[in-house]
Structure 1
């Protein structure tokens, strides 16, 4: 797995979960510090090979994150043949699974899924028995616990837990005060590992904003960034699918190796794009932040919730070679207020495990300036102004 020593969050989590007696945990840690590895080790250590039923349930907001966590667990447990994973996600191929067709209980010890599908498999299909569950884990817990629809599902699933020794783990890079209160209601007497707000911003990432007089100047800024800096892989975040699509076409015409990842793609297409990006087969991923209306059980990619935040596919996605993030559009809530948590999650896609990285926020309105300054003040971390023509003068980042 490439770990030489445990990170701080890994030390804390494993101490409380592997100790006797173990404790419920609500944990916050910066992106790229090994949260997934921490709870994966804890889960694997608590699996009983003789128990032929689900013993660990991991709830995540997106299909992509479910697959990523599963791949981490599979690598860690490659010499433990009894560690098997079932994916409770909305996938067309899932309807053909023998367990679902025959309504047969799952025997895999680990189930990873999205909230609506997990609830559906528990209540309607009745193929998941949670009575012997030993670990109940929620990743990206901030967005799941504060979205009312998801929140109801989490509290509903908790009622299925019968084993008094079952431990609950909630993980996220961000928690609002309201999210912490709700998380404490979901768990019993948890250990809360929380960061001070000023320590949440990733200090190995250098953050800039570029003021563009007109929207079309944003592309000029992107071209200048690529002409001036040595970049591994990059993610560009847009507000609309149409913007992401036109930007992808324009960059491809300029010989950039680029793909788009939006809710316009089906599951198989998204799986292919993410797999190719992880393998380094292309350098630029363009993602759109779009809210999609519909029933919760049928939303996997983006979904609008009553918390007025859309769930973005990049949540928790870890690609080690990403060294550049460009906010083509600034993140905002449905009520047009700055979305601090989304900003932090976006920039956390680069600079994994303290690697250096760059973030460029492309600004072209007074509202964008207010949003950007509010974000900088919220995290007590400077976002430096830089002119397009001055990008070429940037010195290589020294960590």
Structure 2
């Protein structure tokens, strides 16, 4: 496979747009407006809770695109999911197939060679189920949920490569990612898998990539962001969207969370032929995202991971009554003074609190790392690599790390501040992902919630009711009681 260079100059040239008959234009706009109105009714991209704060005092929440890229890089090896898969389809009587080997998929020899060269010996759980559907003839549409590290990207890339007719030199596959960095990650996977398929050519449709005025794109696979793809396909007519055979939307929840992307996706989607195979992949699917996906992916097979509440079974949950931040710090000191802690993750609401706590713990002799929103992705990876290697025993973080990292030695998670949404109500999903950093790999873990206000207590009670799991009061002044939680 040939990969074109990504250059720094922006595409500046303009082309004359062909006139479109008013009736056809009006009809298409009306259809787009109808879908847009449905999307608007879902309230997508309006939560705002996923935006990283620019101030130390503001809530430091995870930027979804950065978090997704971080998890892709961290979890480049396959992580076998213990979660069961739920499959939904319009016709419950239609057969579903799964495979245990890549040979069973009857791939082209050079493509199979590329799969093995990447280190895939057997399909992962999601690949077992997804690949026979994605490679079926006639093609089937799919909406699939799978976290980073489960072989999700390799699954849809394999399907993309399998559908290409290398004798035809025009775009046949579109793959949309929410950001430049995520598109490059996907392209790298495609290039590795197609290592022995030199006749297949890939092009990035991302910022800085130029195509001369009046040029028709001849690469069979385009991977990029919605804005650039829309410019090339609709605005400048550099390829024919009606000839696209496969449309992939990766990181769907992140895509929809970013302002403007959902409208751009709709405009691209409306230009695709009815025979085009549609694939939606994402690590998470809120109900509103699922509704959006089903609006633009007709008759899909839906693969979902069952909710992971069972991960709480290995975790002992406690709350401690405190009066101030200093009181919270003394509670942490008492815990460390009584029981042996392997590694711990402490979650704070703001960067200012995280910095203050880090300074205090460091002065008391703890080896501490801090992970917060002002760090670049590369800096975050460096911090996490050191923590995973055991070079620091305490990781103090904001919501930039509510999910995705598995460190076997983490035995304690502390909510220095309780997780809340924009309405200052309990954020149960974030709580689940936070305390899920302990109790991994079937081992027992401890979660401590530090409560310093009636509001924090209300959040704690709401979380307890939501999961149906008791969060017990812990007397932090009673050494014997603390000792019992570590037993």
TM-score bin (small chain): 0.5 to 0.7
Q: For the structure 1 residues 377 and 259, does the alpha-carbon distance in structure 2 shift closer, same or farther, using more than 3 Å as the test?
A: same
Q: CA deviation at 1:124?
A: 5.9
1:136 aligned to 2:248?
Answer: yes
Q: CA deviation at 1:369?
A: 1.2
Q: For the structure 1 residues 124 and 198, does the alpha-carbon distance in structure 2 shift closer, same or farther, using more than 3 Å as the test?
A: closer
Alignment of 1:211-230 (within 5 A): 211-227=321-337, 228-230=339-341
TM-score (norm 2): 0.57
CA RMSD of aligned residues (A): 4.6
1:365 aligned to 2:457?
Answer: no
Tell me what 1:309 maps to. Answer: none
Distance 1:199 1:4 in 2: 18
Q: Secondary structure at the match of 2:421?
A: coil
**Structure 2 residues without counterparts, runs of 5 or longer:** 1-76, 86-125
Shifted more, 276-285 versus 371-380: the winner is: 276-285
Q: How many residues align?
A: 352
1:171 aligned to 2:282?
Answer: yes
Higher Cα radius of gyration: 2
Q: CA deviation at 1:243?
A: 0.7
Task: Work out which of the residue numbers 323, 336, 342 in structure 1 matches 2:424.
Answer: 336
Alignment of 1:67-78 (within 5 A): none
**Structure 1 residues without counterparts, runs of 5 or longer:** 113-117, 290-312
Q: Which deviations, in whole Å up to 9, do the C-alpha atoms of 1:83-139 show, x marking residues without a partner?
A: 9999999xxxx86xxx46989979796847xxxxx2344356889979557352443
TM-score (norm 1): 0.67
1:393 aligned to 2:479?
Answer: no
Q: CA deviation at 1:264?
A: 2.4
Alignment of 1:45-124 (within 5 A): 45-48=158-161, 50=166, 55=173, 57=175, 59=177, 66=182, 99=209, 111=223, 118-123=225-230
Q: For the structure 1 residues 279 and 214, does the alpha-carbon distance in structure 2 shift closer, same or farther, using more than 3 Å as the test?
A: same
Q: For the structure 1 residues 106 and 52, does the alpha-carbon distance in structure 2 shift closer, same or farther, using more than 3 Å as the test?
A: closer
Task: Work out which of the residue numbers 269, 272, 276 in structure 1 matches 2:379.
Answer: 269
Tell me if structure 2 keeps the 8 A contact 1:144–1:150.
yes
Q: For the structure 1 residues 239 and 199, does the alpha-carbon distance in structure 2 shift closer, same or farther, using more than 3 Å as the test?
A: closer
Distance 1:284 1:356 in 2: 18
Alignment of 1:231-380 (within 5 A): 231-232=342-343, 234-289=344-399, 313-314=400-401, 316-321=403-408, 323=410, 324-352=412-440, 354-380=442-468
Distance 2:139 2:195 in 1: 25
Q: Secondary structure at the match of 1:167?
A: strand
Q: Secondary structure at the match of 2:347?
A: strand
Tell me if structure 2 keeps the 8 A contact 1:198–1:380.
no
Q: CA deviation at 1:330?
A: 1.4
Q: CA deviation at 1:37?
A: 1.7
Distance 2:283 2:230 in 1: 27
Distance 2:402 2:180 in 1: 8
Distance 1:62 1:377 in 2: 41
Q: Which deviations, in whole Å up to 9, do the C-alpha atoms of 1:160-213 show, x marking residues without a partner?
A: 65584433224344624x343233224222233456768466433333322223
Q: Which deviations, in whole Å up to 9, do the C-alpha atoms of 1:222-246 show, x marking residues without a partner?
A: 23444414324x3322111111111
Task: Work out which of the residue numbers 16, 21, 24 in structure 1 matches 2:141.
Answer: 24
Distance 2:183 2:368 in 1: 22
Distance 2:255 2:471 in 1: 29
Tell me what 1:292 maps to. Answer: none
